Structure 1
Amino acid sequence: MSIRTRLTLYFAGLMLALLILVSTVVYFFDEQSQHTMFYSRLQRKAETTAEVYARKNRRLEETDAILLLTQEQQHEAIYDETNTLVYSSGRYAYYPVTAHFLSEIRQNRQVEFSAGNRLGVGVFFERGTDRFVVIVTAEDTFGRERLRALRNNLMLVNLPGLGLVIALAWLFSGRALKPVQHLINEIQQLSTDRLTERLPTGNGQDELAKLSIQFNQLLGRLERTVQQNQAFVTNASHELRTPLTNLLGTLQVSLSYDQRPDRLRATLQSAIEEVQSLISLANNLLLLAELSVEKQAATLTFEPVWPTEPLLDAVQTINRKYPQQPVTIDLPDEEDDRPLRAHADLLTVVLTNLLDNACKYSPTNHPVQVRLRTQSTSVEYVVQDEGIGIPADAIPHLFVSLYRADNARQTHKGNGVGLALVHRIIHLHGGRVQVESIEGKGTTVMVSLPL
């Protein structure tokens, strides 16, 4: 069922309920008003009968009775102080009278009652020595006919009114949903080739405008994701093609020309280095892909970790890889060292990648410094080198997968995945990474993690 149909049915149902409610209230109040007026007429009849009866010394003649009987099937009865019926106006049955009922009339001075279709009023008349009860009953035939006509008229009005309401609801829902249909048409025209386009936001205030704004923000994120994926595919294919080409060329040349064991050994060593580079790139890409999947990232277990432990593991790994490159460590006092909730292995990957970059791009025997500081609410790692530095225009792109600055490409091998991996891991820990660098003088990377 379409939204337009549902809106029409909801609106029609609401209006039908409102019409029934209004009709019921009108009928109820009209009925109450009719009864009130009829009881008022019966009261006046009872008072008139009592006045005539008292004035004529407690007797009514036939002509008086004829003049007093003005309502449909009207009946009048008079009871004296001993509850004896002293006057009855006619043949019509009236409300059965008991001593208790007469006592109630004398106590309340006036009582209204009903019996089937008959309405009645009992009035206690007291003047001088005259004390008696007058009971007048009658049928409000005219009132019933009037209420019946009102009920029929309300039904006749409500039926075509409901049809009109349905037609108006259909037109109203169509007009209300017209912007939605326009929005649907705009969305249908979008594709991966037109992600730069945005939906109109109208006045920017109503719900559809807010929906368009949210959808435009989603398009922006999707556009950035597509661009990153395109750049990733381009760079990944380049990074994979180069070592594979080198490996193939090396093995082909070795197969054709290398006859001596020492030259064959050198060729195999070069091939091993290319394979290790491919393995490192593949492992980093797989880890980055796993951490980029929200469901998998949400399954990571964070436990209390002493900040010095992953740092010392990373330094140990770097010392084995770069034995000629000194790494100095500045640790906090023992009483200042506090555990943080983290994934120890991933934190070791972060520090290893940062130290690896610092050593790779620093001249031999130029020390790389790493400092650990514990603040009141955070832990901060600072890795500082005196290497080639990073151009200012490259710093905003450092955390993009497979991106490498021009000076890094020209001087050292690499795959450009390390810093993207660092940024993703620190983001999962709720921390932040900052890079400060001067080309030709060195780079400082600061990692802050919450305690």
Structure 2
Amino acid sequence: MQIRKKLTYRFIAIVAFILFFSSLAIYISSADYRRDDFYNRLLNKARNTAKLLIEVEEVDAKLLQRMEQDNPSSLPEEKIVIFNYKNQRIFNTGEKGVLKISQELIDQIRLEEEVRYEENGYEVVGFMFADTYDRFVVIAAGKDIYGLSKLRNLRNILLFVFAISIIIVSISGWLFAGQALHPISKLVERVNNISITSLNLRLDEGKNQDEISQLAHTFNQMLERLEKAFKMQKNFIANASHELRTPLTAITGQLEVVLMKDRNEEEYRNTMASVLDDMKSLNHTSNRLLLLAQASSETSQVDIKPVRVDDLLWQVQQELTKRNTDYFIEIGFSETMEDEAQLTVIGNEQLLKTAISNLAENGCKYSDDHKMEIFVLPKSKHLHILFKDHGIGIAKEELKHIFEPFHRGTNALGYKGHGIGLSLVDRIVHLHNGKIDVTSALGQGTTFTLIMPYS
């Protein structure tokens, strides 16, 4: 069901609920007032009649009966019956048998002094009337024709007003809901026009800082992230294709050349050695891409366990200096370290080793003396690992791009590499809920700081 219909139905239900119970309260209070008013008029009329009969000597029952019949102030279908202390009927203005008056009723009136009830469409009141020498029982009945007619008119008016109000509320609620949801309809229409080829489009956030404006702003932020992700993916595919195609093209070219004519053994060996180097480069690039894909996966898909960072540092130092004899890596630890547990983090050992190895290798590779320093500084909740070199540095305007796949600084193009390493480091660190900071100055060196949580 559309939200517009839901809002309209709920609006109608709320108004109908309020109108119904308001009308019901008005009707019930009016009915109670009419009943009490008629009983009071009936009581006063019967009391005056009893006074005339009992206290005025010149008036007897027959005369009073004729007076009541011709009295214009008499109530509709008025019946008045009076009993003396012997329960003998001494006065009756109506036909006998209209009211069923039993001995039990008379006794009840004498006991309670006033009784009210309804019988055969009549509203009846019975009460005690006492003079100096006797106690009389007076029973009066009548029909409130005019009061009931007014009550019926009130009921019809309330029903009519209720029906008209529901119709008006339905129309106005539908229009109001449509007007309130119109901005959302515009957003939906705009969103439907956005496709993978038009992620540059944005929703109109408007000038009002309301919930719809916040929704549009949030959606625009999501579009920006999607557009950025698609651009990165597109660039990644293009760069990956280029990096993979270059050694493949070189291999193909060398093999085609060597097959053009017969070669001697030395030429074949040289060609095979060159092809092997290209294959190693291709294999290295493929492994980096696989690690990059693994580091981009969810944490739940990665084997997580406690890892000693110092062990990884010594392993990386040994492997890098063994492969590159001119590399020198100095490892230091803070004097404030109190417990070996401060060197343990929760993570994937292979991925963390890859991140440390990339940072250490970059530090040595981009330094003229091929030296770098690694310093471990434990904090209360995080372990800080600093990688400092005195190499070529990174330009300030390029710092925000260094973690993008295949990005290489303008001053690093002369060095061997593919631009995957730092992107891989960044994804590994974030996969472990860590953080990486970098400070650099051209010609002075760069410092990377890994901030890893203990748990």
TM-score, L = length of structure 2 = 0.86
1:376 counterpart residue number: 380
The 8 Å contact of residues 45 and 68 in structure 1, kept in 2 or not, is answered as no
The answer to whether structure 1 residue 123 and structure 2 residue 112 are counterparts is: no
Partner residue of 1:184?
Answer: 188
Please name the residue that 1:3 is paired with. Answer: 3
- Is the CA contact 1:379–1:448 (under 8 Å) kept in the aligned structure 2? yes
CA contact (8 A) 1:307 1:337 kept: no
Displacement of 1:38: 0.9
Say whether the 8 Å CA contact 1:46–1:122 is kept in structure 2.
no
Distance change >3 Å, CA 25–CA 66, structure 1 → 2: farther
After superposition, the Cα gap between the structure-2 partners of 1:268 and 1:68, relative to the gap in structure 1 and judged at 3 Å, is: farther
1:353 to 350, 358, 369: 358
State which of 302, 305, 316 in structure 2 corresponds to 1:303: 305
**Could you list the runs of 5+ residues in structure 2 that have no partner in the other structure?**
none
Distance, in Å, in 2 between the alignment partners of 1:262 and 1:401 is 39
How many Å apart are 1:343 and its aligned residue? 2.7
Number of equivalences: 446
Secondary structure at the residue paired with 2:11? helix
1:243 is matched with 247
CA distance, structure 2, for counterparts of residue 67 and residue 311 of structure 1? 124
Structure 1 pair 269–49 and aligned structure 2 pair: CA distance change class (3 A): farther
Please list, as runs of the form range in 1=range in 2, the aligned pairs for 1:49-128 lying within 5 A after superposition: 49-56=49-56, 60-68=60-68, 70-81=74-85, 86-90=90-94, 91-94=96-99, 96-97=101-102, 99=104, 105=109, 109-115=113-119, 117-128=121-132
| 2:315 partner SS | helix
Aligned to 1:196: 200
**Deviating more after overlay: 320-329 vs 184-193:** 184-193
Question: Residues 23 and 435 from structure 1, CA distance in 2 versus in 1: closer, same or farther, beyond 3 angstroms?
Answer: same
Which residue of the partner structure matches residue 431 of structure 1? 434
Structure 1 residue 415, shift from structure 2 partner: 1.8
Distance 1:340 1:51, change over 3 A: farther
Q: How do 1:335-354 and structure 2 match up within 5 A?
A: 335-338=338-341, 339-354=344-359
How far off is 1:156 after superposition?
A: 3.7
Which piece of structure 1 moves more, 350-359 or 186-195?
A: 186-195
2:218 aligned to 208, 214, 219, which one?
214
2:41 corresponds to 1:37? no
How many angstroms apart in 2 are the aligned matches of 1:439 and 1:39?
Answer: 105
Compared CA separation, residues 314 and 108, structure 1 to 2 (3 A): farther
Distance 2:318 2:136 in 1: 120
The aligned counterpart of 1:174 is 178
- Length-normalised TM-score, structure 1: 0.87
Structure 1's 369 and 71: CA in aligned 2 closer, same or farther, altered over 3 A? same
State the alpha-carbon separation in 2 of the partners of residues 107 and 300 from structure 1: 92
Q: 1:269 to 1:39 in 2, by over 3 A?
A: farther
Q: How does 1:274-313 map to 2 (within 5 A)?
A: 274-293=278-297, 296-300=298-302, 302-313=304-315
User: Closer, same or farther in 2 for the Cα pair 1:168/1:53, shift >3 Å?
Assistant: same
CA distance in 2 between partners of 1:175 and 1:92 (Å): 68
SS of 2:216 mapped into structure 1: helix
Question: Compared with structure 1, are the counterparts of its residues 58 and 271 closer, same or farther at alpha carbon in structure 2 (3 Å cutoff)?
Answer: farther
Counterpart residue identity of residue 416, structure 1: G
8 Å CA contact 2:68, 2:93 repeated in 1: no
1:396 pairs, out of 400, 406, 409, with: 400
User: Contact 2:122/2:143 (CA < 8 Å) preserved in 1?
Assistant: yes
State the alpha-carbon separation in 1 of the partners of residues 323 and 286 from structure 2: 19
- Contact 1:46 1:121 (8 Å CA) reproduced: no
1:193 Cα deviation (Å)? 4.7
Whole-Å separation in 2 of the counterparts to 1:49 and 1:436? 111
1:192/1:131 CA distance change after superposition, 3 Å: same
CA contact (8 A) 1:74 1:92 kept: no
2:299·2:432 contact (CA, 8 Å) conserved in 1?
Answer: no
One-letter code aligned to 2:117: F
1:327 Cα deviation from its structure 2 partner = 1.8
The reply to whether residue 417 of structure 1 matches residue 401 of structure 2 is no
1:406 to 410, 413, 424: 410
Distance 1:62 1:342 in 2: 114
Report the alpha carbon displacement of residue 86 of structure 1 after superposing the two structures with TM.
Answer: 4.9
> 1:322 touches 1:359 (CA, 8 Å); kept in 2?
no
Change (3 A) 1:105 1:306: farther
| Structure 2 residue matching 1:122: 3-state secondary structure | strand
Question: 439-448 vs 174-183, which deviates more?
Answer: 174-183
1:330 corresponds to: 332
More deviation in 174-183 or 380-389? 174-183
Residues 148 and 264 of structure 1: is their aligned pair in 2 closer, same or farther, counting only changes over 3 Å?
same
The change in CA–CA distance for 1:67 and 1:265 in structure 2 (over 3 A counts) is farther
Secondary structure of 2:403 counterpart:
coil
Amino acid at match of 2:187: L
Matches within 5 A, 1:131-170: 131-170=135-174
- SS for the counterpart of 1:177 is helix
| Counterpart secondary structure, 1:373 | strand
Report the residue type matching 1:94 in the other structure: L
Q: 1:2-50 CA deviation, whole Å, 9 max, x = no partner? A: 4334433333344344443333233222212211211111221232133
Distance 1:319 1:67 in 2: 134
1:450 pairs with 437, 442, 453, which one?
Answer: 453
Q: 2 CA distance for matches of 1:316 and 1:88?
A: 127
Cα contact 2:202–2:223 (8 A) shared by 1? yes
Bigger shift: residues 56-65 or 426-435: 56-65
TM-aligned CA deviation for residue 292 of structure 1: 3.0
Per the alignment, residue 315 of structure 1 pairs with 317
| SS of aligned partner of 1:205 | coil
Q: Distance in 1 between matches of 2:301 and 2:80?
A: 92
- Give 1:246 deviation, angstroms: 2.0
Query: Is this contact kept in 2: 1:204–1:210, CA < 8 A?
Result: no
CA-CA distance at 1:95 after TM superposition? 5.9
1:104 Cα deviation (Å)? 5.8
Amino acid at match of 1:46: A
Alpha-carbon RMSD across the aligned residues, in angstroms, is 3.0
